[in-house]
Structure 1
Amino acid sequence: MKDGKNLDSHGTEINVTPIKEREKSIHVNSGECGMNMNCDGNSVSGSVSQRACVYCGARVVLNPITDAYHIVHGPIGCASYTWDIRGSLSSGEEIYRNSFSTDLREKDIIFGGEKKLTEAIKEIVEQNNPKLIFVYSTCIVGVIGDDTQAVCRQAEKDYGIRVIPVFSPGFAGNKSMGYKAACNALISLMGEEKQEKVEGINFLGDFNLSGEMWMLTNYLKNLGINIISKITGDASYDEIIKAPSATLNIVQCAGSMTFLAKKMEELYDIPFVKISFIGVEDTIQSIRTIVDVIGDEEMKEKAEKFIEEMFAKTDKELAYYREKLKGKKAAINVGGAFKAISLIKQFNDLGIQTVMVGTQTGKKDDYEIIRSISDEGTIILDDTNPYEIEKFVKQTEADILVGGVKERPLAYKLGLAFVDHNHERKHPLTGFEGAINFAREVHESVNNPVWKFIKQEKMKGDDNYVKELCELECESM
């Protein structure tokens, strides 16, 4: 900031004039501490927000448990909305890819849906012989007041299996509240009794979207670290109930799993550390943090040799992409702040400047870290909306947007390169291999010749637009 004006790192003035309700959710990094970001609140009903509902937050955490059955107690739309929502990979059961619903209609809403839920549980038990069923309460159930807890409790007595209610009516909070509801359901599954300790760790907060859990647990196993349970990517009922016996929890997705880690520390005396395997820098730091906490000297030596070998190989391949990407500008809009922080570091390593960064579930401490590692003039957003993303992407002249499925159409509409770092990606973007995959995807997207033919909206009214477009076409031939 200079003379009361918001300036980017090149001294260009940034025009930020939000509506009153958004004033404390938009911040331009001036290099000063204490930005007082308004965050971690509930979205106003009816407002245009990127933040998902409570039910969605609960479902995305629990859905990757491969042998669990998920009954959505509510209208069919809720079940279809989250069907196979994360595309998580499995090495065992595939039943989690299905979605079951009580399909509540007008009559059920008037007279109650408990009987329908009881019948749905009975049908699944008789046809499939499950070990575990989750029952999600949606908005309408929160309104009509069905006692899902009593129905689930009775089902456990009748069938001798775990039937766990997940209290997730969407209007009761935000996506973060859904994470907590899922974590409470996991605690219910594990039970509150302590177990005899086994030397090993629980890996919390990776959902195995593209096989990352397999890759990262292989890293740890090669160092001699025993994995007790994975929560929840490629997890199973049998391994989750063993989780209380672990001696350490590592937390990859801080937004969804810190609550669970704190509860497990309280109930089972399991300490935890937050880690991130996104990008080379954070991957190296995470490996060192884990082995330091375990405290085995031989393991530390193995870790340093592994890091040296993998870094040399990875850095050599990244050198090519650094040359191609140097000087580009990136905008970020993701769910968790831990991912945004890692992405800023990753872009810095590639020579790319982050000009905008937003999250859905960031906390004040997270935003302070984002401020400290981003350049002066970087726009920082909490729970932003499509209008703001479009405005600031254009204003900062970003070359690429990193986000999820909701941001993809917006990026393409703006003629902007895009990388999906969330639900729909088909290759791992974590660890050393993931760092190479990410750099390759950014390069292939931002340096794609197609962008030569797609001009920004400001050129549409230019008389020379068609002429310039033709010249570009001739140059590419």
Structure 2
Amino acid sequence: MENVKKDYYNKITIDECLETVDEIKYEKKRIDLIKEREASVCYNSKNKGENFKCDAESVSGSVSQRACVYCGARVVLNPITDAYHIVHGPIGCASYTWDIRGSLSSGEEVYRNSFSTDLRETDVIFGGEKKLSGAIDEIVEKYKPKVIFIYSTCIVGVIGDDIDAVCREAEKKYSIRVIPVKSPGFAGNKSTGYKAACNAIINLMSTKKVIDKRNAINYLGDFNLAGEAWIISDYLKRMEIDIIAKITGDSTCSDLMNAPMARLNIVQCAGSMTYLAKQMEEIYDIPFLKVSFYGIQDIKNSLFQIADAIGNEKVKEKVRKFVEEEERKIEKELEYYRSRLTGKKAAIFVGGGFKAISLIKQFNDLGMETVMVGTQTGKPEDYEIIRSISNEGTVILDDANPAELEKFMLEKGADILVGGVKERPLAYKLGVAFCDHNHERKHALCGFEGAVNFAMEIDLTVNSPVWNYV
């Protein structure tokens, strides 16, 4: 490395450059884990049940890939199409809005706007409650909303504004729902934000027992990224299964208020919505199923599970015919991509455990090996499944930091990383292909057509000619 530094301003040969890159990669491989992180990282071993640590607070100083509490709450609530969202905090927090999310609407576009109290130094000293009340007054006067969500951010958690009192006062004054979302970023992690959002949704629903149940379901944990909730809704409609509320993709406030009338909840994003499903089971006696519509295997299993839960023989027969027909349509395309991807190595780092499990199965179906898998919010039961379906020696890690992701991608020779917007630069910096499976994407990856889109994207990025020049 010293020789390269000295010759930097002279001509450097290609061989010397490659040696430098190799040295950097070698140094990356030698990165040691932070001691407190060792229990959250392991090499998969089927014969040894290790005490794997997950679902805990991030280790200070490790620069975790997790998002904050406010982010978790906003992810869940933002797609409600006719709700108004006031971010009580500095203007920067309000930047987490529609333009970096792929949630679509078939109706109103209100959710694409974000309102902020824009707290400044004076507000921090003297309190921001008056400013929040003024913001509510202004929105009511201009837009006549039915529901407003008020998000408390980090600074509000520090100065102690009583947003509960402000919300109660606004509800009395205007006879509308004004719901606090307790989401100061430092108060936990993204999972805490999910819980805060679910509590806000329960607050929106009536807490009374529902007697007149409808023969229909709620679809929890789909945020209609690139119209995915529409794809699954169409599947269910073709099987004569009605949906009362999609929670929260392309939903309205009235949909959510009617959700307690359903007979069954299906949960796509287990990380964000299992808490809500359990609350609804306790309050409204609605059982729930965890499902996944990512990858052929999980799509089929989920549809048959729903049919079994409904217990209608006609529905079961429709599901069977539908699955056979859809598989037939896409088999040739998937076979083509398998021929191009077999033997490639994949690394996964996503938000929830259920998505990671589905991705491992998808890669297996494409003939690819998963060499590293991790999540931000996975639970012990998720990691047990991950361990059972991944190969010996696969690196499993919870709540990773960038150094760990880079270390294990290089160590395992990953050809592609599947992750979110924060992981993209890590992959490209190392010359590794990348697939965005997060909230920012603009193309559908769920359902049978999504399985083909996923295979196509993996092929396009892994087999891109650009890697011949890196």
Hey, what does 1:473 align to over in structure 2? none
Q: Aligned partners of 1:36 and 1:297: how far apart in 2?
A: 44
Hey, what does 2:119 align to over in structure 1? 104
Cα distance, 1:34 vs structure 2: 2.5
Which residue identity lines up with residue 418 of structure 1 in the other structure? F
Q: Aligned partners of 1:144 and 1:47: how far apart in 2?
A: 27
Summarize the alignment of residues 307-386 of structure 1 with structure 2, pairs less than 5 Å apart.
307-386=323-402
Segment of structure 1 superposing worse, 31-40 or 100-109:
31-40
Cα distance, 1:83 vs structure 2: 5.2
Which of the numbers 294, 299, 313 marks the counterpart of 2:310?
Answer: 294
Q: Aligned partners of 1:112 and 1:33: how far apart in 2?
A: 55
1:30 and 2:45 equivalent?
Answer: yes
Hey, what does 2:419 align to over in structure 1? 403
Hey, what does 1:135 align to over in structure 2? 150
Identity of aligned residues (%): 71
* TM-score normalized by the length of structure 1: 0.91
1:194 and 2:209 equivalent?
Answer: yes
Which residue identity lines up with residue 216 of structure 1 in the other structure? I
Hey, what does 2:15 align to over in structure 1? none
Q: Secondary structure at the match of 2:251?
A: coil
| Uncovered stretches (5+) of structure 1, i.e. residues with no partner | 1-13, 455-477
Hey, what does 1:466 align to over in structure 2? none
Hey, what does 1:59 align to over in structure 2? 74
Retained in 2: the 8 A contact 1:84–1:98? no
Cα distance, 1:88 vs structure 2: 0.5
Which residue identity lines up with residue 303 of structure 2 in the other structure? I
Q: Aligned partners of 2:153 and 2:100: how far apart in 1?
A: 16
Which residue identity lines up with residue 108 of structure 2 in the other structure? E
Distance 1:33 1:431, change over 3 A: farther
Which of the numbers 244, 265, 270 marks the counterpart of 2:286?
Answer: 270
Cα distance, 1:410 vs structure 2: 1.3
Retained in 2: the 8 A contact 1:200–1:225? yes
- The runs of 4+ residues in structure 1 deviating greater than 3 Å are 14-17, 44-47, 81-85
| CA offsets 1:313-364 (integer angstroms, 9 cap, x no match) | 1222100000000100000010011000000000000000000001000011
Cα distance, 1:82 vs structure 2: 4.4
Hey, what does 2:23 align to over in structure 1? none
Q: Secondary structure at the match of 2:63?
A: coil
Which residue identity lines up with residue 319 of structure 1 in the other structure? E
Cα distance, 1:32 vs structure 2: 2.6
Cα distance, 1:84 vs structure 2: 4.1
Q: Aligned partners of 2:308 and 2:334: how far apart in 1?
A: 28
Which of the numbers 436, 442, 447 marks the counterpart of 1:426?
Answer: 442
Summarize the alignment of residues 214-253 of structure 1 with structure 2, pairs less than 5 Å apart.
214-253=230-269
Retained in 1: the 8 A contact 2:80–2:249? yes
| Uncovered stretches (5+) of structure 2, i.e. residues with no partner | 1-28
Retained in 2: the 8 A contact 1:249–1:272? yes
Cα distance, 1:18 vs structure 2: 2.0
Q: Aligned partners of 2:114 and 2:136: how far apart in 1?
A: 13
Q: Aligned partners of 1:408 and 1:383: how far apart in 2?
A: 16
1:176 and 2:176 equivalent?
Answer: no
| CA offsets 1:177-219 (integer angstroms, 9 cap, x no match) | 0000000000000021122211100000000111000000100
Distance 1:153 1:84, change over 3 A: farther
Retained in 1: the 8 A contact 2:100–2:440? no
Which of the numbers 63, 67, 72 marks the counterpart of 2:87?
Answer: 72
Which residue identity lines up with residue 121 of structure 1 in the other structure? I
Cα distance, 1:424 vs structure 2: 2.3
Q: Aligned partners of 2:293 and 2:439: how far apart in 1?
A: 17
Retained in 1: the 8 A contact 2:221–2:272? yes
Which of the numbers 391, 412, 437 marks the counterpart of 2:407?
Answer: 391
1:122 and 2:142 equivalent?
Answer: no
| CA offsets 1:444-466 (integer angstroms, 9 cap, x no match) | 11001110000xxxxxxxxxxxx
Cα distance, 1:127 vs structure 2: 0.3
Hey, what does 1:460 align to over in structure 2? none
Which of the numbers 146, 156, 162 marks the counterpart of 2:177?
Answer: 162
Retained in 2: the 8 A contact 1:314–1:432? yes
Q: Aligned partners of 1:333 and 1:45: how far apart in 2?
A: 20
Q: Aligned partners of 1:135 and 1:406: how far apart in 2?
A: 27
* TM-score normalized by the length of structure 2: 0.92
Cα distance, 1:126 vs structure 2: 0.2
Q: Secondary structure at the match of 2:84?
A: strand
Segment of structure 1 superposing worse, 117-126 or 14-23:
14-23
1:48 and 2:90 equivalent?
Answer: no
Hey, what does 1:413 align to over in structure 2? 429
Which residue identity lines up with residue 40 of structure 2 in the other structure? S
Hey, what does 1:465 align to over in structure 2? none
Which residue identity lines up with residue 139 of structure 2 in the other structure? I
Which residue identity lines up with residue 311 of structure 2 in the other structure? G
Q: Secondary structure at the match of 2:457?
A: helix
Q: Aligned partners of 1:47 and 1:260: how far apart in 2?
A: 30
Hey, what does 1:463 align to over in structure 2? none
Q: Aligned partners of 1:88 and 1:33: how far apart in 2?
A: 42
Cα distance, 1:47 vs structure 2: 3.6
Q: Aligned partners of 2:60 and 2:118: how far apart in 1?
A: 24
Hey, what does 1:5 align to over in structure 2? none
Distance 1:145 1:83, change over 3 A: farther
Retained in 1: the 8 A contact 2:70–2:193? yes
The number of equivalent residue pairs is 441
Segment of structure 1 superposing worse, 134-143 or 310-319:
310-319
RMSD: 1.2
Q: Aligned partners of 1:396 and 1:304: how far apart in 2?
A: 40
Retained in 1: the 8 A contact 2:216–2:242? yes
Q: Aligned partners of 1:362 and 1:62: how far apart in 2?
A: 21
Q: Secondary structure at the match of 2:179?
A: strand
Retained in 2: the 8 A contact 1:411–1:418? yes
Cα distance, 1:45 vs structure 2: 4.9
| CA offsets 1:287-310 (integer angstroms, 9 cap, x no match) | 000000000001100110001111
Which residue identity lines up with residue 408 of structure 2 in the other structure? F
Which residue identity lines up with residue 80 of structure 2 in the other structure? I
Retained in 2: the 8 A contact 1:41–1:174? no
Which residue identity lines up with residue 379 of structure 2 in the other structure? K
